[in-house]
Structure formats: C-alpha cells, structure tokens
C-alpha cells in the first residue's frame, strides 16, 4: 500500500464531516460569521499541531516567500469556498450534492495535474474528469 493512503482516508473522512457540520451550522448562523468561526478554529487547530511539533522536538517546517504566497491563495480559496458552501446550504442545496461538487473540484485538480504538473493523462483520469464534470451538470435539477 502506498504511504499516503491513510492520510487520504483521514482527509476524506474529515472533509466529509466538514460538509455535514457546515450543513448543520448553516441553519443556525450567518454565512460570514459561520465561515469565520470555521476558519479561526481551523487556524487554532493548526497552531496546536505546530505546538505539538515544536515541543516534541519534531519541528521540520520549511518557509519561503513563494510557499507563503501560495498558502495565502489557498486560504482565500478555502475561506471563499466555506462561505459558498454556507450559502449553498442556506439556499436549499442538499448535502447529498456535495460529493458531485467536490468531484468537480477534483476534475479541476486532475486537469491542473495533467497540464501544469505533467502528470500522465491516462484514459482512466480523463474518464474521471468527464464523469466528474457530468455529475455537476446532473445537479441542476
């Protein structure tokens, strides 16, 4: 089994739970305030992780200006995406639509992998991209 597999399982479970909790919160908090709470708690969780690394002597965090810049852009995407999910749920979007929405994001990542990172464009990847985008269109009704 590849070394990253269990991290992938963990990320899938956590991001799935993330959307379920966002759906539950969306009826009880505004999109901006809810998004802020999500991001502040996320930042505190990461700060705790960094503290554990520091105090356990396992600090191995590198730092560069380009790394900070790309991380900041990631933060903009996560923040705006969180608000978009709050708005989606507040406007009647079903939580069952989230997998297809995330698959659309996966298609975007696969396309970037092929064109920007020179990852192989196997027929399975291309089919996955087509099916992911098709799933987004099936959500329209």
pLDDT band at 140 (very low <50, low <70, confident <90, very high): confident
Question: What's the confidence (pLDDT) of residue 96?
Answer: 87
Average pLDDT over residues 28-37: 97
State pTM to two decimals.
0.84
Q: What percent of the chain has pLDDT over 70?
A: 99
pLDDT value of residue 113: 93
Q: Single out the residue of 101, 97, 87 nearest to residue 27, CA to CA.
A: 87
Helices assigned H by DSSP within 27-122 = 31-55, 65-90, 98-115
The C-alpha angle with vertex 103 and arms to 101 and 106, in degrees rounded to 5, equals 120
The answer to whether 133 and 107 have CB atoms below 8 angstroms apart is yes
Model confidence pLDDT, tens digit, residues 55-113: 999 999 999 999 999 999 999 999 999 999 999 999 999 998 888 888 888 899 999 99
Instruction: Name the residue ranges covered by the structural domains of the chain.
Output: 1-92, 94-141
């Amino acid at each position: 089994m590849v070394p990253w597999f269990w991290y992938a399982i963990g990320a899938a479970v956590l991001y799935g739970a993330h959307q379920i909790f966002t759906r539950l919160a969306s009826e009880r908090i505004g999109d901006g305030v809810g998004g802020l709470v999500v991001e502040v708690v996320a930042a505190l969780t990461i700060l705790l992780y960094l503290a554990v690394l520091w105090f356990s002597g396992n600090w191995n965090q590198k730092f560069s200006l380009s790394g900070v810049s790309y991380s900041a852009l990631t933060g903009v995407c996560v923040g705006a995406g969180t608000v978009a999910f709050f708005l989606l749920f507040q406007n009647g979007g079903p939580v069952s639509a989230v997998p297809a929405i995330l698959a659309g994001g996966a298609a975007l990542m696969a396309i970037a992998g092929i064109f920007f990172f020179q990852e192989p464009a196997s027929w399975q990847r291309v089919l996955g991209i087509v099916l992911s985008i098709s799933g987004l269109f099936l959500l329209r009704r």
